[in-house]
Structure 1
Amino acid sequence: MDRVIAFVKWPEPGKAKTRLIPALGANGASDLHRRMAERTLSSIRRGARMARCSSEIRSTGSDPERFRRWLGEDLSVRDQGGGDLGIRMELSLLDALEEGVKKVLIVGTDCPDMDPSFIPRVMRLLDDYPVVMGPASDGGYYCLGIDLGSTGKRACALFRGIPWSSERTGRATLSKARSLGLEVASLPILSDVDRPEDLAVWRRARRKISVVIPTLNEKGSVSRAIRSALGAMDVEVIVSDGGSTDGTVEAAELCGARVVRSSRGRAAQMNVGAEAASGDILLFLHGDSVLPWGYGGSVRKVLSDEKVSLGAFSLRIGLGGELKDPEFRSSMATISFWANVRSRWLSLPYGDQGFFLCRSVFFDLGGFPEMPLLEDVSLVRSASRVGKVTTLPAVVLTSARRWKRLGAARTSLRNFMIMLAWGMGISPSRLAAWYRAGSSIKGGS
């Protein structure tokens, strides 16, 4: 079985997070360390279940039994041992090798943006790379994944001769990997919380995100959408259902979403979901779409810029086995490319890209206008008048079912004609009738 190993220090005042003591005091610094460790272990528990791997704590500063009483009796806890950090990490690797573990992911507790979804992501990357590193903005790294099946004891050398707690830690580890002939896959750069100037990262990471999913007979896809949303920390998922009769509600509740009822219509459903939300960030996701791993930190970071009024993800069309035909796959890639060009250069994302914005901004704008079509474009235009509309490089995957049913060319032409007609002043109700007449697609999402 694969394993996640968390290195955790006992939260003793005066010895934990010492660089934060000038800002928080000894007790405040140790309390922050305690809360960050608890957050990390909560994330590891969820991520390990997603990846179907075991988890282990390597403790220091107190005996393992006290750690179990603190963080959970179900946890496997071992003392880190003596020596510098490299020696202690090498020991954890040797123990894993001896016990037949194939893949190991070593993490610390200093990076609050490391969501549960990082764990299955790293384990998948280790199918193709011997080493995976999550670089930290201070020059270190927040996680290191190793495929022990291909590297064996050779990987132990990654921890030798490294300048620990230095801005050179990450570079030195990469250099060591190259000298060992080990290719390294890199994760996004995230920020540790070690210094007073890093406290903003902790405050930002704790902002709650409410993911609102409008549905109408989405049983076949809503579970996947919900699971992707729950791959982040401090998230709630609200499914706003418009009267499904196919088991969508039951599937959503089984996955951990809260379901609210609404009159039919995407705008009305999203507004009802937003009213029920408790987060100060709202993210609107279609029921046939999947959020990117690590989306939580990206969303929070973008919205920490007060100049940004609304954000969206880049688009990629195609889920599962929808793109088996090479010609159709090429068409979807072309459509995705031009959708992203439109989104970035014209600041005009569409709703299938997953909108996110602060709750206060959403309600100041009046929410989604309850119109039968183009409610997403209308909201974007309103948001662009009060701030910047931005598109993240991270990709949201959405189903190709619309393009499959009508054909790529016909669907794209219809969408273009609808936007052109709206720009000429034709009412959304007339456009909606045109849309329905030319489409067999149904559903609130």
Structure 2
Amino acid sequence: MLSVIIPTHESERVLVRTLACLVPGATAGLIREVILADGGSTDETAEVGDVAGCRFLPLPGPVGPRLDFAVSSARGDWLLFVPAGSVLEPGWVAELQQFIDRASAGLAPTGIAAAFSDAPPPQGEGSMLRAVLAVWRARRKSLAPGRGLLISKASLRELGGFGNQNDPEADVLRRIGKRRLTMLRTGIVTPSDT
């Protein structure tokens, strides 16, 4: 069902935490495979991926062609792009499954793709106001790269893939547009957030 694609380059130290947070998706049967689209690592990135059962696709050079190469070999109908070192918050499996089910049935609320929020869900007193502010901030920043991206393989192909842009993820997000991007309630913690 879902192929997870992680662009890597010298990522052995940060990759373990990303792979660990994907385990619930694998045990739930959501994740079909994890692909490491590697840019020519000389550290132990390949070995870390091998121990975790990932497919390692080395292709030195820009990240856009590496991602397109990984997409072309992906077995899943849906693709989840996650930066190496990122950690998905609990609850992501059910939320992704729900989005995929609704999108496959033509019932997705806002479009063809989804991205993770950048803040944990608010808790405690006054949480309704904080929830509204969090949603507003997430929508404002929804086209920021590095928040993870869930998209069907067919939709990504219709968009023309990643190509050889300076910032291929930002370019794909621009082509998707805010109106066709659903912001998930589940958050993602990226290496830049820590």
TM-score per shorter chain, which class?
0.7 to 0.9
Q: Which among 217, 220, 226 is matched to residue 10 of structure 2?
A: 217
| Post-superposition offset of 1:215 | 0.3
Q: Which structure's relative contact order is higher, taking Cα pairs within 8 Å and 6+ residues apart?
A: 2
Pairing 1:270-309 to 2, within 5 Å after superposition: 270-303=67-100, 304-305=102-103, 306=106, 307=108, 308-309=111-112
Question: The residue matched to 1:275 in structure 2 has which SS?
Answer: helix
Question: The residue matched to 1:353 in structure 2 has which SS?
Answer: coil
| Post-superposition offset of 1:339 | 9.2
Task: Answer yes or no: is the 8 Å Cα contact 2:143–2:177 preserved in 1.
Answer: no
- Structure 1 unaligned regions, length at least 5: 1-207, 318-337, 405-445
Distance 2:15 2:7 in 1: 10
Structure-2 residue corresponding to 1:383: 176
Seen in structure 2, the aligned counterparts of structure 1 residues 219 and 296 have a Cα distance that, compared at 3 Å, is: same
Task: Answer yes or no: is the 8 Å Cα contact 2:49–2:56 preserved in 1.
Answer: yes
CA deviations 1:175-202 (Å, max 9, x no partner) are xxxxxxxxxxxxxxxxxxxxxxxxxxxx
TM-score (norm 2): 0.79
Task: Answer yes or no: is the 8 Å Cα contact 1:230–1:237 preserved in 2.
Answer: no
Distance 2:76 2:146 in 1: 21
Q: Which among 93, 108, 114 is matched to residue 311 of structure 1?
A: 114
Seen in structure 2, the aligned counterparts of structure 1 residues 393 and 229 have a Cα distance that, compared at 3 Å, is: same
Structure-1 residue corresponding to 2:192: 400
Distance 1:368 1:342 in 2: 26
- State the Cα RMSD in Å: 2.4
Task: Answer yes or no: is the 8 Å Cα contact 1:369–1:378 preserved in 2.
Answer: no
Seen in structure 2, the aligned counterparts of structure 1 residues 267 and 343 have a Cα distance that, compared at 3 Å, is: farther
Pairing 1:30-109 to 2, within 5 Å after superposition: none
- Aligned residue pairs total 172
CA deviations 1:196-251 (Å, max 9, x no partner) are xxxxxxxxxxxx11110000001101111112123213311111111001111111
2:156 corresponds to 1:353: no
Identity score, percent: 26
2:45 corresponds to 1:254: no
Distance 1:259 1:270 in 2: 12
Seen in structure 2, the aligned counterparts of structure 1 residues 340 and 367 have a Cα distance that, compared at 3 Å, is: farther
| Post-superposition offset of 1:309 | 1.0
Query: Considering only CA atoms, is the larger Rg found in Structure 1 or Structure 2?
Result: 1
Q: Which among 229, 232, 257 is matched to residue 22 of structure 2?
A: 229
TM-score (norm 1): 0.36
Distance 1:256 1:339 in 2: 36
Distance 1:390 1:292 in 2: 17
Task: Answer yes or no: is the 8 Å Cα contact 1:286–1:351 preserved in 2.
Answer: no
Structure-1 residue corresponding to 2:139: 344
Distance 1:269 1:230 in 2: 24
Task: Answer yes or no: is the 8 Å Cα contact 1:315–1:340 preserved in 2.
Answer: no
- Structure 2 unaligned regions, length at least 5: 121-132
Pairing 1:165-180 to 2, within 5 Å after superposition: none
Distance 1:341 1:382 in 2: 21
Distance 2:95 2:18 in 1: 18
